[in-house]
Each structure stands twice: as structure tokens, then as C-alpha cells.
Amino acid sequence: MSTSSITDQISEKYISLGENPETYLKGLLHAKPINYWDYIEVDTLLSLQKPRTNFKDEEIFIMYHQVTELFLKLTLHEIKQVTQEPIFTEEFLLNKFDRIIRYTQMLVNSFDIMKVGMDYDDYNTFRATLAPASGFQSAQFRYIEIHCTGLENLINEAGKERLKAIENPSITDYFEHIYWKDAGLNRKTGAKTLTLSLFEEKYLNQFIGLATSLKGKTIADRLNELNEKSTPLINLLKEFDNLYNVVWPMVHLSTAKHYLDSKNENQQATGGSDWKKYLHPQFQQRKFFPSLWSINEKENWGIEK
């Protein structure tokens, strides 16, 4: 492409916007060249670790969770495109879920940083300063769930039994009985942990608003727009469902056991949850695409082979 044609296109661009192209060309003439550290905001990024103790491994703990949130953002970035895509094709889905699975695999494989990358005694000392903060409070994790499937698929069996007493449950009702609430709510007394109370105070209305806007438009809903699903697509969808809802929780549970119970100390999580129960996929029973799984597969969800 010649220089003249590029400048002509630049001129046409700004004329179409009702602007004077010469103004923008003059600005470009004096603009500083972009560099890596400014574009990536390296200095800002590397300044975001603020430990609360003098234990060196606390900085590892912070950076690991920041990296996790970035991978969740990458995943959510692709998932949003799937829910918003006007023309739903299998080719588009194959491409997107190939990316989504790659990010989720990175999340799964990265947990070794948590499990073997920190000093056991140091972690069990500095983690006390983190209460009531908990990874449970990751809003992006919940955003991904809400984009992927209907709220009815985020209710475990106990929650479904409770919902039977409600005629035409609302979105708010579903959130009252959603699986993750059991991590911080005593269903008998109604008492909530501070972890859950703070989390709901900040995010619950956002979750309800998002679920309302996505009603009938989640990825699980939109899959119904395809007359047929090829075996490769079904396999990708099931792989993501299994990675996110079985493999990753089990890796998380294994790491929690390493730090909280490997010496039979049976320590409490910083969020105060019954972590042995809550983290297990058999308790969570979260499935994004239940129609793709056989009855036997669903009955054996999360059972270690």
C-alpha cells in the first residue's frame, strides 16, 4: 500500500467523522513513540503487590492470585463474545472454546505454584492476616458461571429441594439458594460469615442484574440455536465443563488439604467455610451443560476414579 493511499484513507476517516484530518496528522507528527513498558503498564503492574506481613512468600501468594484473575478475565473476554455473537456458528464456537480451554488448563496447571511454591509454615502464619478475605470472593469466577449457564444449573440437590417450596422462583430466589452461598451461610440459623456478607454487599446486585440480562441468552441457552452439534464441539464443551467444574475444584481442594490438613491440624479457611465439603464438586454439583452428559456421568460427577 502506497504512502499516499494511507494518508488518503486517514483523511477520509476523519472527514467522515466531521473532523479536520490535518489536526490529527499534526498531532501524530509530534506524538512520542509507544514503548513496551508504557503500553503494558509494567511499572503499575509490578507495583500492585502490597503484602501485609514480612513473610517473603506472601508476595508469591498475591501475585499468583493476580495472575489467576487475569486468566479469568481472558476466559470471560471470550465467553462474553460467545453470548453476544449475533450469528451463532459451530466454527465460531470451536475457535472460542479452544481458547477458553487453553486458559482453563493454565489455571489448573498453575496451582502447583500455590501447592509447592510457598513455605508451609510461613503460609500458615501469614494467612491469618488475610481473614476474612477468601478466594471465594472472586467475582469473575461468578460472572463466568452466570454467562455460561442458567441459574438452575448452579443449584445443588439440597438447594433444589428448598426451591420446591417456592412457586415460580425468581432470580433473587435462585441466588438465595445458589451453591456457593452454602460456603458462608448457616441454613439452620441464618447466620452469615463476614466473608459472605461483604461479598454480597459488593456484588450480589451486580450478579442479579447480569443474570437478568442474560436470561435465555447464556451459552447453554444459545447452544439450542444449533440444529446439530458435531462430536468435536460436544467434546470441547464437555472438556471445558469438566475442567472448570471438576478438575479445577479438585486441584484447589488438594492444595487446601496440603496447607490446612496435611499434618492433621484441620485448620479453618480464612473465609470460615467448611472447605472440605464446599470445595468438592460432588457438593457444588455445578454443571454448565448438563444436557451433554449421560445420567451415569452426572451421578458420578466429581467422583475420583
Q: Is the pLDDT of residue 93 over 80?
A: yes
Q: Specify the pLDDT at position 243.
A: 97
Q: 183 and 82 share a domain? A: yes
Q: 10 and 136 share a domain? A: no
Q: 21 and 151 share a domain? A: no
Q: 105 and 27 share a domain? A: no
Instruction: Using the CB atoms, write b or e for 230-249: b if 16+ within 10 Å.
Output: eeebeebbbbbbbbbbbbbb
Q: 153 and 9 share a domain? A: no
Q: Kind and range of the H or E element at 118?
A: none
Q: Tell me the mean pLDDT in the region 79-94.
A: 94
Q: Is the pLDDT of residue 49 over 80?
A: yes
In the block, cell 440480562 appears at 213
What span, in angstroms and rounded, lies between the C-alpha atoms of 197 and 105? 31
Q: What percent of the chain has pLDDT over 70?
A: 93
Q: Tell me the mean pLDDT in the region 23-43.
A: 93
Q: 27 and 66 share a domain? A: no
In a domain? residue 126: yes
| pTM of the entire predicted model | 0.90
In a domain? residue 199: yes
List Cβ neighbours of 108 (8 Å cut-off, separation of 6 or more): 243, 247, 248, 251
pLDDT tens-digit series, residues 169-223: 999 999 999 999 999 999 999 999 999 999 999 999 999 999 999 999 999 999 9
What span, in angstroms and rounded, lies between the C-alpha atoms of 178 and 174? 6
Q: 144 and 73 share a domain? A: yes
Q: 109 and 218 share a domain? A: yes
The CATH number of whichever domain residue 105 belongs to comes to 1.20.58
Q: 278 and 140 share a domain? A: yes
- What residues make up the domain containing 69? 55-299
- Point out the least confidently predicted range of 93-97, 248-252, 255-259: 255-259
In a domain? residue 50: no
Q: 125 and 207 share a domain? A: yes
What span, in angstroms and rounded, lies between the C-alpha atoms of 118 and 51? 14
If you average pLDDT over every residue of the chain, what do you get?
92
Q: Tell me the mean pLDDT in the region 227-238.
A: 95
Domains of the chain: total: 2
Q: Is the pLDDT of residue 264 over 80?
A: no
pLDDT bucket at 254, cuts 50 / 70 / 90: confident
